[in-house]
Structure 1
């Protein structure tokens, strides 16, 4: 097998995935074996694709930041259309006017990808300034660090001293 990617719509899992294989005959065997089997209590339905959906190029951290600012990071497709599966975390439910720098200050204890080189590692996904909540994409240095971030922030209140119980954060790792 060459790779595995979950399919997302606005960074929410759709319940489907994409398996790629290095050789077509491996794909045919997997299709025959997996189709109709049961995984996680659900029946697996498979189909063969002759071509892969095209992934947009991210062009590094600077390119990711520019893409987010112009709304190009939608979170759709395999792995949400971004690279670095397992190291990306989406935080949402934060105040709408929150800036990436403020969130980055709160993530100081985590090892984030590129932080040692002064690169952007926190990107605000929603460009709508009137939204009551906001979403951020955070790039961790490793999968274990991404899951540590999720364990710390998922279902926690954001600054309860200022916002009370109005801003419950949610966090998940994008695969």
Structure 2
């Protein structure tokens, strides 16, 4: 009877995982890039991976990522291959997962009807990979137009009447002296150039000194 119980318990993970085609990677370094995760897939000889997506909260990495598989038959083989896997010499965890929420860049509206991005979920909920940059540390009340003007030395995509700088939504009932914006350069190369020049610089130091130190990251 005891042997039968153990045998039944061994089937439980497969019953829970049945039909799943996603693997969630956990305990990733916050600095991990898509290239690191793709190397992980190649190094561990994963099968049928069709998409690799970093998970974000307000466009900042959560330390998690999702692998999408072509077929559920690949799930358990890949989970076994990822046992004791590491990224950047740090051990990670891999578990089966239901399909993650993906908002496809949905725009939300605040009470003042300003359009803002939430920036949550795989790829931060945006479709155009590596062509967006999140910039934070800006003055709390700065407008999108002022952000675009501040970044006028960079090539931003504001074609078709679309704003090239969109405010990132604050969680409900929270307040901050700083603001966060999603900026859309015209190319991946321009996105990386913007990050190199903007990250750890100061916003208008002639006026504000070192009050507003900026951070910038490409959204993958």
Q: Which interval holds the TM-score relative to the shorter structure?
A: 0.7 to 0.9
In the aligned structure 2, how far is the partner of 1:17 from the partner of 1:94?
28
Residue 141 of structure 1 pairs with residue 186 of structure 2: yes
**TM-score, normalization by structure 1:** 0.82
Q: 1:104 aligns with which of 135, 148, 151?
A: 148
CA distance 1:29–1:143, change in 2 (3 Å)? farther
Q: List structure 1 segments (4+ residues) > 6 angstroms apart after TM superposition.
A: none
SS of the counterpart of 1:141? Answer: coil
SS of the counterpart of 2:103? Answer: coil
Aligned residue pairs: how many? Answer: 168
Q: How does 1:150-161 map to 2 (within 5 A)?
A: 150-161=195-206
Native 8 Å contact 2:101 2:121 kept in 1: no
In the aligned structure 2, how far is the partner of 1:112 from the partner of 1:100?
12
Which sections of structure 2, spanning at least 5 residues, go unmatched? Answer: 1-48
**Alpha-carbon offset, residue 172 of structure 1:** 0.8
Say which structure, 1 or 2, has more relative contact order (CA 8 Å, 6+ apart).
Answer: 1
In the aligned structure 1, how far is the partner of 2:92 from the partner of 2:203?
39
**TM-score, normalization by structure 2:** 0.67
Which sections of structure 1, spanning at least 5 residues, go unmatched? Answer: none
Question: Which position in structure 2 is the counterpart of 1:53?
Answer: 100
**Alpha-carbon offset, residue 20 of structure 1:** 0.6
Q: Deviations over 1:106-143 (max 9, x none)?
A: 22232333x23332121012469x63211101122322
**Alpha-carbon offset, residue 163 of structure 1:** 0.8
